[in-house]
Amino acid sequence: MAWWTKADFARHVRFLARVHRLTGRPFVLWQIPLGNSRLPDTWGRFRDNRPQWLLGAGSAAHRKAYRRAGVRALLFGGGADGTTNEKTDGGWFFRHARAYYRRSR
């Protein structure tokens, strides 16, 4: 399980912001794993709180912090066999991505 704390996310944003300030280059964060805190943490159904941080309750402020740090896109999906996907996460990602899309229109 890859579980990030509030401090981990804050440190990540600070790092990205510094690199963005020094280079002036935007970021695309990719291979953000799918998953959520209710999964059993088994092959194909791993727990991960990053999607919840970026798309779940209270996530607008989190996305805004990443935007200020130079992030221009968030790309979700595993980069290896056995990772959680949209068919094995219990529908969490599609529900929240759809809600985000509807709010942003």
Mean pLDDT of 89-101: 95
Q: With 90 as the cut, is the pLDDT of residue 6 above it? A: yes
CA distances from 26 to 31, 33, 66, 71, 103 (A): 17, 21, 11, 6, 24
Q: What is the pLDDT of residue 2?
A: 63
Closest CA to 13 of 52, 55, 57, 53: 53
Mean pLDDT of 56-84: 95
Helices within 1-105 (DSSP H only): 6-23, 50-55, 59-68, 92-104
Mean pLDDT of 70-95: 94
**Distance (Å, whole) CA 64 – CA 38:** 26
What is the tens place of the pLDDT at every residue in 8-56?
A: 999 999 999 999 999 999 999 999 999 999 999 999 999 999 999 999 9
3-state secondary structure string across 10-22: HHHHHHHHHHHHH
